[in-house]
Copies of this chain bind each other. A is one copy, B any other.
Amino acid sequence: MDIASIIGLVVAIVLVFISISLGEDGVASVKAFLDAPSAMITFGGAFSCVLVSHTMQDFINGIKGIKLAFKVPVLNTSEMIKNIIELSNVARKEGLLSLEEATAELEEPFLKKGILLVVDGTDPDLVRGILETELISIEDRHKKVIGFWDMVAAMGPAWGMIGTLLGLVAMLNDMNDPSSIGPSMAVALITTLYGSLLANWVATPIANKLRVINAAEMQLKEVMIEGLLSIQAGENPRVIEEKLKSFLAPKDREGGQDEADFGGEE
């Protein structure tokens, strides 16, 4: 579990509850902010319209995407580089065919597929072609999930506003009792609040997190492609290391100092 993301999500909603509880009625004030019909129109409307734009399977994948936003990636780029250099040493000493054994232990399916292609003696251009097509296809599928949450982030406030308009029109049509105007307005505004929370507490942060995870995974896979093609070309392991380490921040190259990256290079 990715602690940072969980902490962020929890702290934000706790702050909302604290903020509400600071009112005169204390924790009891929370009741005034819970309104089932408002939730129904905002969340129901938003997710229904997101469903219109997706197949049922993509919709379910989108919802499930929330789980993936909190998953910590198993491998990072610098470990992957170590693995590839090891593989290049094996290939140099025992020949490309010896890599087949090495794949038995590999969990990463993309790297495994690439090694099998190399072991099969596939033409380097074709290896690159197949792996890059796969890379693009993976990214396309990731973008579908990201697009799902981007659409939730747009539909949340839109249906919040639709809910508020429904409430306002009803209220304005029936203003006989002045004392009811305040509470009616309050209820009308709750859908806007729900829509804002759906967009800014959940959907946008999730979409952005998935974007970050996708970027990291794409970089990792680019490192694998570059590494595999270098192994196939029989390049010197030291040169391969030099090449692949260019993908890393200076501090990750030695694993030593823990400094902010931006400034370290100016």
Contacts and interface: CB of A to CB of B under 8 A. Distances in A.
A74 B217 CA distance: 33
A58 B209 CA distance: 11
Contacts of A109: 250, 265
Which secondary structure characterizes the binding site on chain A?
A: helix
A102 interface: no
Contacts of A64: 260, 262
A88 to B, nearest CB: 15
Q: How large is the interface on A (under 10, 10 to 19, 20 to 34, 35 or more residues)?
A: 35 or more
A23 interface: yes
B170 A5 contact: no
A197 B133 contact: no
A16 B167 CA distance: 11
Interface of A: 2-5, 7-9, 11-12, 15-16, 18-20, 22-24, 29, 32-33, 37, 40-41, 44-45, 48-56, 58-61, 64-65, 67-69, 71, 73-74, 109-110, 117, 122, 126, 129-131, 133-134, 137-138, 140-142, 144-145, 147, 151, 154-155, 158-159, 161-163, 165-166, 168-175, 179, 182-183, 185-186, 189-190, 192-193, 196-197, 199-201, 204-206, 208-213, 215, 217, 219, 239, 242-243, 246-250, 260-263, 265-266
24 contacts: A4-B56, A5-B52, A16-B45, A16-B166, A19-B166, A29-B170, A33-B166, A49-B204, A52-B69, A53-B205, A53-B212, A60-B260, A61-B260, A73-B266, A117-B242, A126-B243, A133-B246, A133-B247, A137-B249, A165-B189, A165-B192, A168-B189, A171-B182, A173-B183
